[in-house]
């Protein structure tokens, strides 16, 4: 993995080195723990920084025959790292192989391949570095030239750590992202009502009726805006296309509030009604809304009960998105409530559907108002990124694309931006050398810079100043 990794022609090398590599990072969707940033913590060892919470690695380890105790169990951090090092040689052709070694190189200067033979040496070297002030989490972000972060936060979150970071004048703005998935998930009355108790406490509003519920969520929406939020995010299997009335939705809410289960159609009506209401509030505030569509989550019920969600038991779904998504966006567009929107699909079979969907609702008010977001989750690897760039180029304007994000819980994941940028530059460089694109390094270099950073900055902060100047 040399300096020309993934760059297979001279033009690609120039595009990357002269344009892409110098651009800062706006990571507008990640799951980084804000309390760790606010506390500027230092990890005791690389297992804590690298393997805790990383279900990508856990899935690979399980597939390699590693017992669960080395993934989420109470085995020592050294033994967990050794189990990961034993797995890495078997990740050939999986993006984890590339990411692992990019991260070892970029953060720790480790240029050898990780294996059982050097596992303890690498563990000790990286852990020693992590214990020094230069490797505190704030400095890890600075090291990767991160310019701004948007985290993923539940409406009931106090945002006290975001407030602390602002009060401390941390030089990298960390903004909250409004993620109301739990607030509109009514399949389990017991879980939903427990959540409403949290919502009552956070909002200071007693929730007895549907109108109270709306008032409480609106209060949290306003609170997030007051604390600098510019993005909302929704993780959904699919968007529904059903008819509903306010009375029907209110009735469904009352059923769940009284501990009763709703029918499938009542569930769909409630979910759609709330997504539309939230989208109107996003529009009022000029936020960017993101819809992550197509994951089937928590498929292994036994392990969900044992470990909880987000532990590596999710996969790609095969829902049909085209008509309901079009109807949802059209409903907002007709009433002039369609804000800036980023759509993400998890099933690669939907690439062209999503790429063409964006063009239906771009209205010329801003460039690329409706975006097809970066290759996501199971697709953020070389093949997935290239296929995304090709489909986006064929159906829309890749030059207006808002670029990459980490979607990660790890402070060591930011080389994924570099990974994307190298693939991007190689794609353009290859076609420039073939004569399919003009040999205009200045203009195409500007396009590369825009995709890497400028488009994101202008898209998220239309008509407002980016925090920190």
Same domain, 131 and 141: no
Residue 28 pLDDT > 90: yes
> Distance between CA 140 and CA 103 in Å, rounded?
11
> Distance between CA 414 and CA 410 in Å, rounded?
8
Nearest CA among 183, 178, 185 for reference residue 297? 185
Segment (H or E) for 171:
none
> Distance between CA 107 and CA 409 in Å, rounded?
16
> What was the pLDDT predicted at 454?
97
> What was the pLDDT predicted at 50?
96
Tell which of 135, 166, 187 closes a domain. Answer: 135
DSSP states of 141-164 as a string? HHHTTEEEEE--B-TT---HHHHH
Same domain, 382 and 445: yes
Same domain, 111 and 150: no
> What was the pLDDT predicted at 462?
83
For 360-385, write each residue's pLDDT tens digit. 999 999 999 999 999 999 999 999 99
Residue 332 pLDDT > 80: yes
Same domain, 74 and 199: no
Over the chain, what is the mean pLDDT?
97
Is residue 451 domain-resident?
yes
Beta carbons of 87 and 60 less than 8 angstroms apart: yes
Same domain, 250 and 359: yes
For 86-120, write each residue's pLDDT tens digit. 999 999 999 999 999 999 999 999 999 999 999 99
Tell which of 94, 117, 135 closes a domain. Answer: 135
Same domain, 305 and 417: yes
> What was the pLDDT predicted at 426?
98
Same domain, 60 and 31: no
Residue 469 pLDDT > 80: no
Is residue 1 domain-resident?
no
Is residue 466 domain-resident?
no
Same domain, 320 and 209: yes
For a pLDDT cut of 70, what percent of the chain falls above it? 100
For 292-328, write each residue's pLDDT tens digit. 999 999 999 999 999 999 899 999 999 999 999 999 9
> Distance between CA 354 and CA 343 in Å, rounded?
7
For 131-183, write each residue's pLDDT tens digit. 999 999 999 999 999 999 999 999 999 999 999 999 999 999 999 999 999 99
Q: Residue 116 maps to which CATH number?
A: 1.10.2020.10
- Residue 234 pairs with which residues in a beta bridge? 291
The number of domains in the chain is 2
Residue 41 pLDDT > 90: yes
> What was the pLDDT predicted at 465?
82
Same domain, 74 and 194: no
Is residue 310 domain-resident?
yes
> What was the pLDDT predicted at 271?
98
Is residue 465 domain-resident?
no
pTM: 0.96
Q: Residue 158 maps to which CATH number?
A: 3.20.20.140
Is residue 297 domain-resident?
yes
Rg of the Cα trace of the chain?
A: 23
The helix/strand/coil state of 343 is strand
Same domain, 435 and 291: yes
Residue 463 pLDDT > 90: no
Residue ranges of alpha helices (H) inside 264-396 are 264-285, 301-307, 322-334, 351-357, 382-395
The domain of 119 spans: 44-135
Residues 53-64 have a mean pLDDT of 95
Tell which of 135, 153, 172 closes a domain. Answer: 135
> Distance between CA 43 and CA 77 in Å, rounded?
12
Nearest CA among 214, 285, 204 for reference residue 249? 214
Is residue 240 domain-resident?
yes
Same domain, 216 and 296: yes
Residue 171 in tokens: 């030089």
For 417-439, write each residue's pLDDT tens digit. 999 999 999 999 999 999 999 99
Same domain, 106 and 217: no
Residue 209 pLDDT > 90: yes
Is residue 5 domain-resident?
no
């Amino acid at each position: 993995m040399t300096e020309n990794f993934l760059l297979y022609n001279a033009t690609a090398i120039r595009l990357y080195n002269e344009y892409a590599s110098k651009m800062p990072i706006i990571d507008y969707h990640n799951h980084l723990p804000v309390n760790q940033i606010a506390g500027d913590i230092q990890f005791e060892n690389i297992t804590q920084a690298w393997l805790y919470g990383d279900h990508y690695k856990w899935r690979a380890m399980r597939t390699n025959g590693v017992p669960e105790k080395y993934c989420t169990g109470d085995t020592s951090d050294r033994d967990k790292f050794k189990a990961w090092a034993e797995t890495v040689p078997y990740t050939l052709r999986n993006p984890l192989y590339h990411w692992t070694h990019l991260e070892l190189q970029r953060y720790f200067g480790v240029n050898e391949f990780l294996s059982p033979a050097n596992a303890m040496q690498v563990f000790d070297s990286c852990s020693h570095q992590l214990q020094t002030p230069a490797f505190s989490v704030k400095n890890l972000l600075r090291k990767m030239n991160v310019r701004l972060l948007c985290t993923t936060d539940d409406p009931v979150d106090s945002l006290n750590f975001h407030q602390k970071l602002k009060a401390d004048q941390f030089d990298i703005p960390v903004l909250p992202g409004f993620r109301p998935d739990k607030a509109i998930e009514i399949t389990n009355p017991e879980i939903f009502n427990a959540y409403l108790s949290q919502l009552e406490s956070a909002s200071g509003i007693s929730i007895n009726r549907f109108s109270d519920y709306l008032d409480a969520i609106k209060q949290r929406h306003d609170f997030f805006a007051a604390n600098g939020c510019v993005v909302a995010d929704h993780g959904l299997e699919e968007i529904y296309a059903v008819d509903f009335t306010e009375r029907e939705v209110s009735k469904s809410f009352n059923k769940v509030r009284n501990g009763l289960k709703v029918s499938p159609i009542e569930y769909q009506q409630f979910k759609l009604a709330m997504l539309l209401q939230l989208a109107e509030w996003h529009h009022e505030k000029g936020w960017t809304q993101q819809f992550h569509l197509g994951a089937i989550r928590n498929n292994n019920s036994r392990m969900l009960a044992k470990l909880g969600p987000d532990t590596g038991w999710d996969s790609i779904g095969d829902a049909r998105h085209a008509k309901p998504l079009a109807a949802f966006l059209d409903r907002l567009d007709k009433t002039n409530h369609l804000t800036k929107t980023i759509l993400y699909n998890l099933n690669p079979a939907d690439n062209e559907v999503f790429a063409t969907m964006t063009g239906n609702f771009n209205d010329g008010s801003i460039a690329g108002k409706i975006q097809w977001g970066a290759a996501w989750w199971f697709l953020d690897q070389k093949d997935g990124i290239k296929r995304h760039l090709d489909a986006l180029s064929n159906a829309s304007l890749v030059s207006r694309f808002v670029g990459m994000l980490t979607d990660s819980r790890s402070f060591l994941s930011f080389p994924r931006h570099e990974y994307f940028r190298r693939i991007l530059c190689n794609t353009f460089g290859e076609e420039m050398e073939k004569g399919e694109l003009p040999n205009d390094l200045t203009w195409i270099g500007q396009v590369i810079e825009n995709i890497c950073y400028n488009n994101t900055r202008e898209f998220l902060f239309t008509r407002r100043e980016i925090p920190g100047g």
